[in-house]
Chains A and B, each alone.
Chain A
């Protein structure tokens, strides 16, 4: 790396007028650029305030108890428009199912990339594919889900939605896991193997536990990412006015309906935001705010978690 474009300051030359002018100009320019950089940061943060502020200003008044406790009620009936309980439950179940599918695959892939075959003929393309998959537009994933799991099964369903979300989670989890495991010092591994543990035990008992905090961060980020996804759900889970989980008095007291069209917060927000009903549109704004609140909560807890890790 050349240093040609750094102006070396000749200590002897500092006394000449020209040099003083040049270094003064450099310092002024440096000051200006400092302000530009600080200004950019400030500008970006003010954008955040603008967007969030707007969403709070129109959505906050619509968040009430009914939003969390009631299913949607059509216009003209008592208590309309009800709430978005079905969608909240739906998103929770979708994320749970997507995590069940996506996190093990993602983590295992990450382990494979970091611990086995680091530079092998499989690992390099897999790493590359993870990067590519992370960049696949989510609407394309939705189309895949439709062709693979909706058309053949004869109904929009929760599984298709969960698989589409898992599809988005896998590359994120895999790459974070790999990167985090890389950060675990090699001395841990060497120590473990020196003590007679084999590779599997070393990975499961030493390497992964040391990286857990960071891996959890990656997983939570993946969850936060898919919680806000709309496009892949429109063609897979579709939406439903019913809560996917119902309770009753007969064993096993809880029923889940996953093989049918499935509600989700984002799809319902999209449908309400583009619908005709004024009350429903207010619900949509409240829904966006709740969604952002959830994502904010996840982000804050990650931050809290990583900070406390740093302090230990």
Chain B
């Protein structure tokens, strides 16, 4: 990489450009233009194919459940026997390993997994945002030059650890630890503080694999992304802004706070992106959240997110409607991440225009 400068070829002196060369230039320019524009079109096609293919595959479910898919709270892939079908002797007919009855068809409502995704993402932000902002401020305003490089590198490396590794660590180290040392105390606290009872465990069983553990693991996983983006956002605060506050006698923290205020929309963007990442996280959350499609206010009840539902069931869904319902969940997940990005982007753009105004 050190020979970079040497690699920049000296510009060819076009002292005498003939017509031939001129047209050659023109055509190469056109080719590159069209090739790059073609790639850009491929990118557009990628997103549209994603939406189209998912919508197409989800069609049976969309037709069958309509809007109630989003608000239904029961996810039951199997049919339930209504009144059992009786044979001539009055016995229940069992055929093919399934009870033959007038069946209540499977029900697919995505509300529990939407709830699970929302709550676990919010929990993850509660964990990640203070730590990430603290680290970002430290990296921008406090750390010595010797530290900044290695520390940023290590935090970014935290982002590169495959999610399956976090999952196994969570399952075998974090969850048993939470169950034995954290959750009993926390649960007792919630039970005895009026107004917080709804957060405590209802069944009395603390398993360590629940919404709380899920939020924690997601939080750990999105720390690097929020830290990295916030650090970049904070770095863009004009030097004059900080120097000005310091010159006015502000303490270290006061000038940091001014930085945070100045770049707040960019920081919100960073947080939104972290939240989008948390919502889409699959492998790790599947292992620690307890995988129960239910809506419970307790932090210590097992739950399910959209992506963990997909990881659990997509490969095995052998009925058409079950598969379509899962693809619809994927579609909802996709649209949600799209919405997050719209908001995050709006905030970042807003910040850019504001900082431009401040100059």
Contact = CB atoms under 8 A, between A and B. Distances in A.
- Size class of the contact patch on chain A: 35 or more
B33 A30 contact: no
- Size class of the contact patch on chain B: 35 or more
A255 interface: no
A305 B1 CA distance: 6
Interface string A192-211: 10011111110111100110
A122 B279 contact: no
A154 B53 CA distance: 18
Contacts of B88: none
Contacts of A128: 341-342, 345
B310 A30 contact: no
Nearest to B139: A41
B44 A132 contact: no
B341 A135 contact: yes
A298 to B, nearest CB: 8
Contact of B173 (A41, A54, A108, A131): A54
A174 B36 CA distance: 11
A135 B42 contact: no
B250 interface: yes
B251 A197 contact: no
B258 A299 contact: no
A123 B263 CA distance: 26
Interface in A30-63: 30, 32-34, 36-41, 43-45, 47-48, 50-52, 54-55
A167 interface: yes
Interface stretch (A69-77, A81-89, A244-252, A265-273): A265-273
B202 to A, nearest CB: 30
Contacts of B141: 37
Given A26-B251, A27-B251, A288-B162, A44 B227 contact: yes
A51 B169 contact: yes
Interface of B: 1-2, 4-5, 7-9, 11-14, 17, 25-26, 28-29, 31-33, 35-44, 46-47, 49-50, 53-54, 57, 130-135, 137-139, 141-143, 149, 151, 153-158, 160-166, 168-169, 172-173, 220, 223-224, 227, 241, 244-245, 248-258, 261-262, 273, 276-277, 279-283, 307, 310-311, 314-315, 327, 330, 333-334, 337-338, 340-342, 344-345, 354, 358
